[in-house]
A and B are shown apart, each in its own frame.
Chain A
Amino acid sequence: MTTLRAQGIHRAFRASGRPVRAVDGVDLSVSSGEIVGLVGESGCGKSTLARIMVGLDRPDQGEVWLDDRRFVRPDGSVERALRHEVQLVFQDPHASFDPRRTVGRSVGMPLRAAGVGRQGARKRVIELLEQVGLDPVLADRLPSTLSGGQLQRAAIARALAPEPAILVCDEPVASMDVSVRAQILNLLLDLRRERGIGILFVSHDLGVVRRIADRVAVMYLGRIVETGSSEAVWRLPRHPYTRSLAASIPTGSTSWRARGSVPRLEGEPPSAVDIPSGCRFHPRCPIAIDRCRVDDPVLRPFPPDVEVACHLAEQAGDVA
């Protein structure tokens, strides 16, 4: 049982000379055998957080721990000996494979880098490809000859090569056909069940997160505003932002169509250049009160296992 834990992460970038607080004080953990969904709109900081948690980007403040070992230090340096424990799967596999290298060589790179001999690496690559449901003959093909779904399986095989405890998947099924998407999601579910891998699943697609995540963390403008078990959060979303997200997923019901029947979130995801005062969601919030404009809410616990950063989170119970 391994837990990857990010603590007090802050990360700012500069855009046209102005600071963009992409991640603005976040704690998040993923343990072996669980799938944690990290959801939010474009620009909410979810991908930056994911990159920090695999050691690909450095935080300005905060640390990342693997159990009791420090993986990313406050100065941003990464403990190399722990790197193999956390692996990343990107959105676009065609961009994450070297087009001139065979799939097998790319999948075997982490092994060769770790000092495994050519023969041994080859044997292991075949095993890995079989594990993700690919025909081993694909090892000798170039990435351009594989379909998107096949290549994403290969990307997962490559991420599994160093035998990580935790996989971080950044939008792994975006832009895939629904039947291919189901196959990739099932592969992740199988890896979790059969090998006890922990998965941080980053996505803007609440429908997909709702289908596979055990726990969910909803991110808005650099902060986590609601987190808890999937069942609890979707049964009673307490943060007005989570409720707006839930209401915006088409459910297959035709009554969604009735105009004006479901409250829509007004406006667009705002920019992290100008983070509003008080609660950062208040300019779009349909229930904001004066306090929300000045007082920045912190995450508060709601039994059994939910945390919500909203002054009015108690009110959600009234309408359920």
Chain B
Amino acid sequence: MAAGGSATAGGPTTSARPDHAALEVRDLRVRYRSIDDHGPDVLAVDGIDLTMDRGEVLSLVGESGSGKSATLLALAGLLPANASVSGSVRLQGHDILALPERARARVRGRGIGMVFQDPGGSLTPVLTVGSLIDEVLLVHRGLQGAAARAETEALLARCGVGDPARRAQAYPHQLSGGLRQRVAIAAALAAGPEVILADEPTTALDATVQAQVLDLLVGLVADEGVALVLVTHDLAVAAAVADRIAVMYAGRIAEERPAGELMERPGHPYTVALRAAALPFRPRDRDGEGIQERLPELRGRMAAAGGTGCSFAPRCPLATDHCRLVAPPLEPFEGGLVACWRAGELAEWPGVESPEVEPEVPLAAIEPQAVGWPGQGA
């Protein structure tokens, strides 16, 4: 929990306690060197800790520049050459950052499955989707020929791809976006990973297909017991599928708490703003002519990571001089962690208990009973 402390976490091999977590990240930092060697380095991730158990969904939420994608790429080992990573990432008992390169690639390849926003870009266009998955099975599980193909078809079927024997013969461009994402998820599962990292996996999909794919991911976590890290800019998506949500801001975790509690009573002012922006409800207030008022708005831009004071202070309605001078540590708060000097006072802030938004449609209208299709069930 000692974020923001000393860097160089050399080799935390003295694990006195048994380590059952699927994934354990300590003091992760990602720094990009300027490509032309003249500009300043950019700190993208500024010392974060994460612990994931099997069968758990953690969502990393934030806007562009928050460091959420850099965190994911660092875990997956997919950062560009000008990035440097420090800290420790424990997967299957290995500190993968401390392993030699080939061993690291093997542990990662087997232990981590990756799903990207654009499934078209992550599937090889010249391989049929079946042979793509066959190859993963050969490399990581030693399966070949008919055994591999049978497993490939089972994986496709498990991911909701209808008629898997025929679909396995298709090239990625012959499939719709939703099917491609299902194939990408099947490929991510093929090595039998403990952790799936998904970067905005439904952002490019239609709402109805997004719902199907989110259902699929949540189902896989429950049935296969993998840990899922879901990166999204949409707090509403995170709330829908995550057990825990970590809101990131300027390279650090601003708040990490169980999803329901975080949505109900945010502990960080940035979470309050994100929630107001993400929920699909109209502002309650209208002027005399029934014309709608403006939406809650967060002005300004995200600060660069690594400055003095709280990086959210320039945009925060509650910021004090103390906030501007001293960065708040991530401290226990109502079931989780919050980095805000004023987290305790937030409950009295008008934006929190009575949010500026209110369901115009009663939530019940889209809860199960009310949506129950006429003529079905009863």
Contacts and interface: CB of A to CB of B under 8 A. Distances in A.
Interface string A248-267: 11111111111101111100
Nearest to B241: A257
A316 B208 CA distance: 20
Interface stretch (B77-85, B141-149, B210-218): B210-218
A122 B50 CA distance: 53
Interface stretch (B5-13, B107-115, B359-367): B359-367
Interface centre among B208, B222, B280 (most CB of A within 10 A): B208
Contacts of A318: 374
A182 B277 contact: yes
Given A183-B297, A240-B373, A263-B371, A235 B365 contact: yes
Interface residues of B, number: 63
A189 interface: yes
A228 B244 CA distance: 38
Interface in B348-372: 359-361, 363, 365-368, 370-372
B327 interface: no
A182 B297 CA distance: 6
Contacts of B376: 286-287
B320 interface: no
A313 B366 CA distance: 17
A252 B366 contact: no
B237 to A, nearest CB: 5
A181 B296 CA distance: 11
A89 B273 CA distance: 27
A287 B374 contact: yes
Given A178-B234, A206-B280, A251-B363, A243 B241 contact: no
B370 A287 contact: no
A248 B211 contact: yes
A269 B368 CA distance: 23
A173 to B, nearest CB: 11
Interface centre among A251, A258, A259 (most CB of B within 10 A): A251
B292 interface: yes
A31 to B, nearest CB: 14
Nearest to A39: B207
A178 B239 contact: no
A268 B371 CA distance: 20
Interface string B275-309: 10111111000000001101111110100000000
Given A178-B278, A210-B280, A243 B371 contact: yes
Main secondary structure of the interface of A (DSSP, over half): helix
B292 A189 contact: yes
Contacts of B281: 210-211
Contacts of A255: 367
B206 A41 contact: yes
B372 A319 contact: yes
B213 to A, nearest CB: 10
Contacts of A250: 214, 234, 236-237, 239-240
Interface string B51-63: 0000000000001
A234 interface: yes
B225 to A, nearest CB: 16
Given A186-B297, A240-B373, A268 B209 contact: yes
Nearest to B293: A189
A312 B373 CA distance: 11
B263 interface: yes
B296 A269 contact: no
B276 to A, nearest CB: 8
Contacts of A312: 374-375
Interface centre among B209, B274, B275 (most CB of A within 10 A): B209
Given A252-B239, A253-B239, A259-B218, A315 B278 contact: no
A177 B63 contact: yes
Interface centre among A178, A245, A318 (most CB of B within 10 A): A178
B373 A320 contact: no
Contact of B260 (A186, A254, A263, A286): A254
B34 interface: no
Contact of A249 (B177, B207, B367, B374): B207
24 contacts: A42-B177, A147-B301, A177-B233, A178-B233, A182-B277, A204-B207, A207-B279, A235-B360, A247-B371, A252-B239, A252-B278, A254-B260, A257-B218, A259-B218, A259-B222, A261-B367, A261-B368, A262-B368, A263-B372, A268-B179, A312-B374, A312-B375, A315-B375, A319-B372
Shortest 9 CB-CB contacts between residues of A and residues of B: A207-B280, A315-B374, A248-B211, A178-B277, A250-B236, A250-B240, A177-B63, A179-B298, A41-B206
Given A246-B361, A268-B179, A269-B208, 10 more contacts: A178-B278, A181-B277, A183-B297, A234-B365, A251-B236, A251-B280, A252-B275, A254-B239, A315-B374, A318-B374
Interface of A: 41-42, 147, 175, 177-179, 181-183, 185-186, 189-190, 192-193, 204-208, 210-212, 214, 230-231, 234-236, 240, 243-259, 261-265, 268-269, 286-287, 312, 315-316, 318-320
Interface of B: 63-64, 176-179, 203, 206-212, 214-215, 218-219, 222, 233-237, 239-241, 259-260, 263, 273-275, 277-282, 291-292, 294-299, 301, 359-361, 363, 365-368, 370-376
